[in-house]
Homo-oligomer: A and B are copies of this chain.
Amino acid sequence: MSPRNPGQRAGLTRVRVVGAARDLLAESGALEALTMRALAARLEVSPNALYSHVSSKDGLVDEILDDVLAEVAAPADSGAPAAGLHALMVSTYEVLLAHPELVPLYLARQGARGPNAQRLGDVMLELLARAGVEGERAREALRVLIVYTIGFAAFATRAPVAEPGTTGTQLEENFHSGLRWLLMGIELGARGAGAPAPA
C-alpha cells in the first residue's frame, strides 16, 4: 500500500513542504484546497509526516505569506518620497495580484507579520520621514496605505463575474487614482497644520 515502511525516510525538508504548499495553492487557486492531507498526498507521505517539518497549518501559512513579500521591489533611494511610496505600494499591489490565491489569506490574517513585512514597513517609514511625516502621523499614514493596498487587491482578485463591466485595467487605474488621492492628502497634511479639516 504505502511506498515506505515505518522508519524509512521520504527526503522531506521544510522548504520542500512550504514549496509544495505554495504550488498547491497556485494550481488550485482556492484556499480550501490547502489541507494538510492534500499536501501530504502531493508529497506522497502520510499526513502526520508534515508535523516533523512544520509546527502547524497556521505556521505553514504564515511562512508562505511572508515569503511572497520578498518579491516586492523597494524603490531607489534617490527620487521624491511620494513617488517612492507610490512605487512601493504599486509593487506590493502587483505582487498581491500575481498571487491572487493568497490575497484572501492576507485578508484573513490581516497582513503578514514576518521579517519581510517588517522590512517593508521600515522602508515606508523612511520615505514618510523624508516627506515630512513622522511620529504618530507616520504610523497613521502607514496603516492607511497598507489597508488601502490589501483591500484593493482583494477587490481586484475577486471573481470578475461579480461586476461584469469592470476590467482588470480599469481596476488598476482605479487603484492608482485612489492611491494618488491618499498620497496627496498625506502630503497636504504634512505641509499644513495636521490633518485636513473635516468635510
Contacts and interface: CB of A to CB of B under 8 A. Distances in A.
Interface in A116-134: none
Interface residues on A, range: 35 or more
B198 A176 contact: yes
Interface in A164-199: 166, 170-171, 173-174, 176-178, 180-189, 195-199
Interface string A135-168: 0100110011001101110110010001000100
B155 A110 contact: yes
B158 A110 contact: yes
A184 B188 contact: yes
Contacts of A166: 139
Interface stretch (A5-13, A36-44, A78-86): A78-86
A111 to B, nearest CB: 9
Given A80-B199, A180-B195, 7 more contacts: A104-B108, A151-B154, A176-B198, A177-B189, A177-B195, A180-B185, A180-B199
Interface of A: 80, 82-83, 85-86, 104, 107-108, 110, 113, 136, 139-140, 143-144, 147-148, 150-152, 154-155, 158, 162, 166, 170-171, 173-174, 176-178, 180-189, 195-199
28 contacts: A85-B199, A107-B107, A107-B154, A140-B178, A143-B155, A143-B174, A144-B177, A144-B178, A144-B181, A148-B148, A148-B151, A148-B178, A151-B154, A173-B195, A176-B195, A177-B189, A177-B196, A178-B185, A180-B185, A180-B196, A180-B199, A181-B184, A181-B196, A182-B182, A183-B199, A184-B184, A184-B188, A184-B196
